[in-house]
Amino acid sequence: MRIGLLGTGPWAGMAHAPALSEHSGLDFVGVWGRRTEAAKELADRHGTRAYDDVDALLADVDAVAVALPPAVQADLAVRAARAGCHLLLDKPLATTVGQGRAVVDAVREAGVASVVFFTSRFMTETEAWITEQADTGGWFTARADWLGALFGGDGDSPFADSPWRQEKGALWDVGPHALSVLLPVLGDARRVTAAAPGPGDTVHLVLDHVSGASSTLTLSLSAPAAAAGATVELRGRHGIAVLPDSAEGAVTALVHAADALLTAADSGRPHPCDAAFGLRVTEILTEAESLLDAGVG
C-alpha cells in the first residue's frame, strides 16, 4: 500500500514517520506539511519525498496517515477520503461532532477504510486484556485515571506548546485513550452523568454504560511528574482486573494500527477503532465539555 504522511510536528517525527518507514507492507511515498521546510527535513530523514501540494500527494497514494491537530485533521481526512485514500487517523478524530460526522460520511461515501490510532488500543498486552475482560463480562464499575505531566511544571515534553492541547486540555488529549479502553469492555456510554473540574486542566467524569456498569474517569495533563501514569481498574462479580503495563512503544503500536488498516482495506470489514468509533468518542467528550462549561456536575 502506498501511503503518505500529513504532518511534520513532534508526533509525526517521533511515531508516524518511523512506523511508516519500517512497515514491510507499506511504501512510504512522501510527506506534506503546513511548513515546507519541516516537510523536507522529515522526508529527507526517512528517504522519501516532500510534497508542497497536498492534493498532489493524495493523487500519488492509496492511503494517508495524519499527524495534525484534530480540526485540521478532520478537514483533510474528508478531502483524502474523497480522493479515494484509506485513512490512518490520530485521536481525537475531531473536537466537534459536525467535523467528526463529516469524516464518517466521507469514509462511507468513498468506500475507504479508516483506523483511528488510540495508542493503547494497539498495544498487544492492552488489546488482549480488553478482549479478555469483554468476554468475562459482569463488570459492576470501573475507574480510569489517565494523568500526564505536560503542564505540571516539571516536564519538558515537546507537546506542551501544542496550541490545541493548551486550549482543549486533558479531556480531549487523554480522554480518548481512557474511553478507547473502557467502551469495548463496558459498552457504549448512555450518558455522561457528572463532570467536574480539578486542579489545572484536570477533569472528573462519571459515565453510565449500556451494560449497566458505571465508570469514573480522572483525566489530567497537569499532574506532577511523579504522579503521572495511567491506571484502569474493573470490579465485578468475578473480582478485580487491572490493565497491565505494556513494554511496547508508540512506533510499534502504530505499526499494529497500519496492519489494521491494511486488513480493513483488504477485507472491507471495518475495524473496531474506525472513524465511526472516533465520532462516538467525540460525541461523549462533547457532552462532557458541555457539562463542564455549564458548571453542571
Does the domain spanning 124-245 belong to CATH 3.30.360.10?
Answer: yes
Vertex 193: Cα angle to 190 and 197 (nearest 5): 130
- Conformation bin of residue 22: beta by default, left when phi > 0, alpha when psi is -120 to 50: alpha
Residue 44 has a pLDDT of 98
Closest C-alpha to 204, from 214, 191, 217, 215: 217
Residue 158 has a pLDDT of 84
List average pLDDT for each run of 10 residues in the chain, which is 297 residues long: 97 97 97 96 98 98 98 97 98 98 98 97 97 98 96 78 93 98 98 95 98 98 94 97 95 98 98 98 98 83
Residues of the chain within CATH 3.30.360.10 domain(s) are: 124-245
Long-range contacts (CB closer than 8 Å, 24 or more residues apart) made by 153-159: 153/224, 154/224, 154/225, 155/225, 158/10, 159/10, 159/11
CB 65 within 8 A of CB 1: no
Q: How far apart are CA 27 and CA 71, in angstroms?
A: 27
Full-model pTM: 0.96
H helix or E strand, kind and range, residue 195: strand 189-197
CB 115 within 8 A of CB 271: yes
Does the domain spanning 2-119+251-272 belong to CATH 3.50.50.60?
Answer: no
Q: Which value, in Å, is the radius of gyration of the alpha carbons in the chain?
A: 19
CB 88 within 8 A of CB 110: no
Residue 154 has a pLDDT of 66
Residue 157 has a pLDDT of 83
Q: How far apart are CA 147 and CA 223, in angstroms?
A: 6
Residues of the chain within CATH 3.40.50.720 domain(s) are: 2-119+251-272
